[in-house]
Structure 1
Amino acid sequence: MLRLSKKVEYGILAMQYMAAHPRNLFTAKSLSENLHLSYDFLAKTMQKLMRAGLLDSQQGTKGGYFLAKPAESIRLMDILESLESRPELVDCVSDEKDCEKKENCYLHGPIQLLQKKVEDIFLLTTVQDIVEYNFVEIETNNNRG
């Protein structure tokens, strides 16, 4: 099943925490203590988010990290792609990988549709949505008639 890596989990947690406290600056140390996360792993994750332009920092004794853009404009997909690749349910949905069974596979179409829905959730859900517990509802057809 689709599972987010610890790196992505830490990135989302840290950015959600910073978005919930928008006027503050945070060191990796303070975030790791407040969120009960590994300092070393979080510090590396924060550096990657900064290189991707999602975080910025202020130097000095009272410095720290802050969101580089408003939380409502940072999508979960932005975080995911800055830390690893897009989530793939199976190899055959990737443009880079080819499946020898693709021509005779009856699951390829439905799996691609499911893949699209998963990607849409990551594309449409922002850090601010996570702060507000305001998750995107994906319309599905529940009629089986």
Structure 2
Amino acid sequence: MRLTSFTDYGLRMLMLMAGSPDRAFSTAQMAEDLNLSRNHLSKIMQRLSRAGIIETRRGGGGGAILAKDPGSLKLGQIIRLLEEDHALVECFSDGRNACTLDGRCGLKTRLRTAEAAFLADLDRSTLADISI
């Protein structure tokens, strides 16, 4: 299984935030701390904010903070959210499937089972388990 950089960066952000739950993180400071693109991190923050995982505040003293206890955020749940636009394989995509084997392929079922097992295993750990 391979995660997108969007998910990788999102997990890094959340690990930092979980390690300092009382600190508000600006996108600029987090981008510098993680050596990542501020624009890319802004997009990740938007998705996490819409999902209620983080809260963002503008202005002086503003920034992003965790909206939930890190112990309540399962890693599989976070990865499902961050990977929602990226199917494991093309045939898992809605409306974009050009696979000529679709309907006859025995691999699709096995990949779905493997993906479910991967996420189920990650659901055994929480953000608190990996905070730094």
* Distance apart, 1:51 and its partner CA: 0.9
| TM, length-normalised to structure 1 | 0.72
Moved more, 72-81 or 47-56: 72-81
Higher RCO (CA-CA < 8 Å; seq separation 6+): 2
Change (3 A) 1:29 1:91: same
Change (3 A) 1:59 1:114: same
Change (3 A) 1:82 1:63: same
| Residue in structure 1 matched with residue 102 of structure 2 by the alignment | 99
| Residue in structure 2 matched with residue 59 of structure 1 by the alignment | 58
Q: Is the 8 A contact 1:56 1:66 kept in 2?
A: yes
* Distance apart, 1:9 and its partner CA: 0.8
1:130 equivalent in alignment to 2:130: yes
| TM, length-normalised to structure 2 | 0.78
Which residue identity is paired with 1:119?
L
CA distance in 1, matches of 2:88, 2:57: 39
1:35-78 CA deviation, whole Å, 9 max, x = no partner? 11111111111111101111002333011100010001112233
* Aligned alpha-carbon RMSD (Å): 2.6
Q: List 4+ stretches of structure 1 deviating above 3 A.
A: 86-92, 94-99, 107-113
Q: Is the 8 A contact 1:75 1:125 kept in 2?
A: yes
- Kindly, what percent of the aligned residue pairs are identical? 30
Change (3 A) 1:64 1:77: same
How many residue pairs get matched?
A: 127
* Structure 2: runs of 5+ lacking an equivalent: none
Which residue identity is paired with 2:102?
C
Q: Is the 8 A contact 1:18 1:24 kept in 2?
A: yes
Change (3 A) 1:72 1:46: same
CA distance in 2, matches of 1:74, 1:44: 20
* Structure 1: runs of 5+ lacking an equivalent: 133-145
CA distance in 2, matches of 1:124, 1:95: 26
Q: Is the 8 A contact 2:87 2:93 kept in 1?
A: no
Change (3 A) 1:10 1:111: closer
* Distance apart, 1:110 and its partner CA: 5.1
